[in-house]
Structure 1
Amino acid sequence: MPNIGDFWLGYTGVVMLTNAFAQLKLLQLADSALPIGSTAHSYGVESLVAEGQLGVAGLGQFMRAFIQESGQLEAYLANQAWQLADATAFDQAWLDLNDHAAAFKPARESRHASAVLGRRLLGLALQLEPLPRWQQASTLAQSHQIETHHSCVFGLVAGCLAIEAEAMLAALLQQMTLSLILACQKILPLGQVQAQQLLWQLHPTIKAVVAQTPHMMLADLAPCSIGLDGASMRHPLLGTRLFIS
């Protein structure tokens, strides 16, 4: 066994890290400034604002629904991927999980955004630390011509770094929530302090979703139903757009 502060690489490419070092890597991977393009997407929020369906006053309620619905789906996918980090039967499970991710995203724009971010995150991870399992995941996707979705990649990367599932899920939901709040700041009169207050107030909702995720089954999930899918589909029709989706 490694000494405190050491790490070792298993045959599946799982790196065992001390908690502090693992958290440091998680902070980097969950940073909104990570160069994978997350700030270029609003996932339909820009359409809702342009149509007058969303404003600052209703943002808190909207974000809570977003975390409980879209966030729950992404958390489930990430948790399943996390469990595949050292799985012996990896190949088909990885392909199926990404197929499920695509199937639960009826809006082409959101589905494409998820795939682009996943592909870029996996590519960046391989440049940072080319672990065998990450390479296996990338090679499988290329050979079977499927997309690797962001939440699936995030969970797999965290699992291979031996980051605890609860911490991984909280970081993913925080990242998703913050990205959407930052998008709102560009298209709504939402100040920096207001944005941070909003994110802080959403922590109990994030905590509840994290707690529920290990008990979720695929049959319990449903596509987003808070209007984001429809808004994403209408996004290309906007006369002026700040975001890709």
Structure 2
Amino acid sequence: MTEPGAFLTALRLSDSMLPVGTYTASYGVEQYINEGYVDTADELGELIEGYLRGVIGPAEIVALGHAHRSAAAGDLDGILAADERLGAATLPAEFRESSEKAGAKLLDLLAHTDDGPFSEASLDGIVEEYNTALDNNRTAGHYPVILGMVCQRAGISCTEAALVSAYSTVTGLLGAAQRLGRFGHTDIQSELASLFPVIEEICEQYHNADLGAMYSFAPLADVMGMTHERADRRLFMS
């Protein structure tokens, strides 16, 4: 059973209140809605299931899992490899930039609010090495990769870290759709509940996958993300 402190940290990291900037990103959902591809709650749920199966699981969870295992082994090169591979698999520039900004913000937040291994006063080992690599522009600092490292250092298992990541991403996408004014609280909660089995499935399938198995296949989501970069009307950064 997860230690109470680690469990509380997992709740904190999956909370939409965590100020890392992910609330400014819709990862293309805004463009889907603006162009009329999503009108009903069921269509929104189907879209996010597609994200889970085509991007979140085979790309983000694979990267997170590899970073988690690499952090446990003190393998900086492994964490950097996860960063590089995830960046290469993420085609829209807005998606990459949002992920990098959120990753950097998470590290900065923990450095200034925690007394643990990420605080400025106690940086050591793999955390200090990663921060140095990030400061020297040797790595991009994608959010799922940093989240995997943070969870490992906090005593959160790889499976639980994957659930934290997938859950927070899904709630972020649903929250973005709700803030666009198309869906009410009941619809959003209904779709979230219906996606739980998919979240569990993709986390179980991909959290322990080899980095070489990473792929991302969501062509229309990529197109929506790239179109959003040039949209005249937009509320979100991506």
**Does the pair score TM above 0.5?**
yes
Partner of residue 81, structure 1: 67
2:55 counterpart residue number: 70
Structure 1 gaps, min length 5? 1-16
Q: Is the 8 A contact 1:126 1:134 kept in 2?
A: no
Query: Normalized against structure 1, the TM-score is what?
Result: 0.87
What is the rounded CA distance, in whole Å, between the counterparts of 1:170 and 1:230 in structure 2? Answer: 27
**Is 2:189 the counterpart of 1:196?**
yes
CA distance in 2, matches of 1:18, 1:93: 25
Distance 2:148 2:176 in 1: 24
Q: Is the 8 A contact 1:44 1:235 kept in 2?
A: yes
Letter in 2 for 1:102: G
Preserved CA contact (<8 Å) 1:126 1:135: no
TM-score normalised by structure 2 residue count: 0.90
**Aligned ranges for residues 33-112 of structure 1 at < 5 Å?**
33-56=17-40, 57-72=42-57, 73-88=59-74, 90-112=75-97
Shift, 1:94, TM fit: 2.2
- Deviation of 1:63 after TM superposition, in Å, equals 1.3
Q: Deviations over 1:156-210 (max 9, x none)?
A: 0000111111111111100000000000002242111111111111000001011
Identical residues among aligned pairs (%)? 25
Q: 2:156 aligns with which of 150, 159, 163?
A: 163
User: Residue 141 of structure 2 aligns with which residue?
Assistant: 148
Aligned-partner Cα distance in 2 for 1:94–1:225: 25
Which of 157, 162, 171 matches 1:178?
171
Check whether the contact 1:36–1:117 (CA below 8 A) recurs between aligned residues. yes
Q: Secondary structure at the match of 1:86?
A: helix
2:201 to 208, 213, 233: 208
Instruction: Name the aligned partner's letter for residue 34 of structure 2.
Output: A
Deviation at 1:227, TM superposition (A): 1.5
**C-alpha separation in 2, matches of 1:198 and 1:135:** 40
Q: Which has the larger radius of gyration?
A: 1
Q: How many residues align?
A: 228
